[in-house]
Structure 1
């Protein structure tokens, strides 16, 4: 017969006995992915002196935050104190401010004539914090499948990795990041000259020769940044940016709109109806999607203007453009483009395509995916609502069909249930980590102890 025990900050003798018996079966918590989301959670667990035995696995051997997009001069677009910890614990030693202090750059950084830190520096900060958790992370462990199993009478998740290693845990926290969105028209061609923005710097470095005709697909901030980088990197190349909107839009940076990144908005959004969520999404999207900050829009417009003045325009913004066919040719890639309003068509022959097309959210929509692919073998144990969305509790745990199903938490994947603050932004990262940590502790209050047999 299974006994049940209660976790407490100071373990009782009975709890210690459960710990001893669970040593052979795995961890209390396994975090899959160790980017900023689960790093923030690891910090929250450590600073809380939590009794949870947590371990994390990360696919990359040497993870670099946004390594493919550490462009010269690019910044993080949010206040630096919206970091891994500060909103949750302003006294934390893992803050961006303390990183600057320990790196002997605090005074110099405060003298920078810039509103936001460089993306490169924030990447260094993430790396600095990551290295302090090497004792509870296995790097180079690429999760390939998750199964629900039983060990000595207790339900556990078994996560397999590409090298054949298996990790058992009674609770999972999935923080693998959202799946890059690649429009279906680009699914067919297999060529190294079509790449997603997440691979940008890595793949550019592997090119056999400098490209002379380049297409950037998408009207996002990242798309504009990539156009500017390509224009500097390959000054003789023709660079065309294709956007479905009429042209490039200015990001909504109103402080009233920015309150969408407050925890109060997350709670409001979570409790809204699905129709209400759609209305809120339409209002909030220009704060983060398909729009750009004024500084880079000005840089791009000035660049195009000067090229026109010199009679040598090489950078173009092509709005109202829908790419409806793609064909790999011997010399590159042939794009077929339709004007979205007039219906006219044209073609462009390029030797490099960069997809600045963003990422997939969870949901039943055309550009969404119903659940994280890694959960394919266990997803039948969880609920979907009448609209086809995964049911997620306010602590980011999936709602199980049966009460005995062990918990799974989604860290950084819940924009469709929790709103814009759960996008790939640091804005609410540390507060989300706190809520997940508290949810982990709550779910661990009654823990089935493995049988002796």
Structure 2
């Protein structure tokens, strides 16, 4: 059985960026990536018409680390024959659809180091020919051996109570949006849809439903007073600089929480100005016409969910008056974000795939894994022979807002992880060349 220098779990943007860094900087290191999807795809359930990526296109898979790379978004446009046309677009950021195609274009150039349709289910620490290795077993029974592990499965969808126990397929996370629409609207538009959450995605989904189904009642239920404008101040945006990541990692636990509170509005429970304006104007015009179909209702908490035939009934409480109501919908989209690592109710202490080896590694006082500056897990015992494990794209609680599922620092993080692997790994590039 072949032993790889690096086993990567997941082949989304985070580990694609690592594969690029390996090719460009350390081509002699052998690597294999295991991806649960059967083909490359980025947010396929959320490729809404007209939606953009919300970050500068040069913060792509590679450019901040290597602006001369073949794998940049700019070069993708050039090779696809759309560079001049794209530069003429009257938009600030690229369409999400186009960025998804860019990611697929890059991923396809690494097909020889990726096994698709391989969901990693278990990781064990074993001894093999006198060497400590990680054995990764996939859902289909495949077994892989590696001298190090880079874990990048993406952040798990977060479904708060009571949605976490809802059995109906008509209640679903935003990542399944387009797929469930196709499933349930084949024979006609829904009468009513609820969108739960105050995020950018929640507002975009509310608009998308209004465009697709003009006669459908769409109700956006928001826990806070209403939808909030995203903080796009260039001063706040420096939270997506590598210097902030280093500063955040050195901060105390209390300091990190203060920084989190300040940076929250740059990424969470907030919406871009253009989307807010479009949504507000739509609602105003519907009121003007005496035919309001779209509603944004703040201070609303969903306390119960139940299926009733081919409908879903939500029990809703007004948070400040304690008044309650029941409302019935054909579909309920839960736009409440994703889990990262941490001790909170919307977090998880470690990636589930590491269940069998997590006991070997150091934890914070609050219980979650301690993650070093180079994204490596630290062995619990100083004399441990645990090979390196590094987390790629899961570390907002230890590295700050730049790790919040954003492309902003993705390429630089890949370089940091590669440096960490080379420093901590038991392999040397010339000795294990493919």
Which residue matches 1:318? 297
Structure 2, unmatched stretches of 5+, are 429-434
1:299 has 2:256 as partner:
no
In the alignment, the residues of structure 2 paired with residue 186 and residue 111 of structure 1 have an alpha-carbon distance, to the nearest angstrom, of 43
Q: Secondary structure at the match of 1:39?
A: helix
Which residue matches 1:255? 234
Which residue matches 1:366? 345
Q: Map of 1:55-66 to 2, 5 A cutoff? A: 55-66=32-43
Contact 1:25 1:151 in 2 (8 A): no
1:381 has 2:360 as partner:
yes
How far did residue 146 of structure 1 move? 1.2
Which residue matches 1:78? 55
The structure 1 segments of at least 4 consecutive aligned residues displaced by more than 4 Å after TM superposition are none
Contact 1:52 1:441 in 2 (8 A): no
In the alignment, the residues of structure 1 paired with residue 269 and residue 415 of structure 2 have an alpha-carbon distance, to the nearest angstrom, of 30
Which residue matches 1:278? 257
Count of equivalent residues:
424
In the alignment, the residues of structure 2 paired with residue 256 and residue 50 of structure 1 have an alpha-carbon distance, to the nearest angstrom, of 38
Which residue matches 2:432? none
How far did residue 184 of structure 1 move? 2.3
Q: Secondary structure at the match of 1:182?
A: coil
Which residue matches 1:164? 141
Which residue matches 1:4? none
In the alignment, the residues of structure 2 paired with residue 238 and residue 420 of structure 1 have an alpha-carbon distance, to the nearest angstrom, of 35
Instruction: Classify 1:389/1:188 alpha carbon distance in 2 versus 1 (closer, same or farther; 3 Å).
Output: closer
1:400 has 2:379 as partner:
yes
Which residue matches 2:9? 32
Contact 1:33 1:176 in 2 (8 A): yes
State TM-score, norm by structure 1: 0.92
Which residue matches 1:16? none
In the alignment, the residues of structure 1 paired with residue 368 and residue 348 of structure 2 have an alpha-carbon distance, to the nearest angstrom, of 10
Contact 1:186 1:326 in 2 (8 A): yes
Q: Larger radius of gyration, structure 1 or 2?
A: 1
How far did residue 331 of structure 1 move? 3.4
Which residue matches 1:135? 112
How far did residue 374 of structure 1 move? 0.9
Contact 2:387 2:426 in 1 (8 A): no
How far did residue 59 of structure 1 move? 0.6
Which residue matches 1:420? 401
After superposition, the CA RMSD in angstroms is 1.1
Which residue matches 1:450? none
How far did residue 401 of structure 1 move? 1.2
How far did residue 94 of structure 1 move? 0.4
Note the alpha carbon deviations across 1:256-284, whole angstroms, 9 max, x for none. Answer: 00000000000000000010000000000
1:206 has 2:187 as partner:
no
Contact 2:387 2:425 in 1 (8 A): no
State TM-score, norm by structure 2: 0.96
In the alignment, the residues of structure 2 paired with residue 405 and residue 340 of structure 1 have an alpha-carbon distance, to the nearest angstrom, of 49
Contact 2:21 2:415 in 1 (8 A): yes
Q: Among 408, 420, 424, which residue is 1:439 paired with?
A: 420
How far did residue 446 of structure 1 move? 6.6
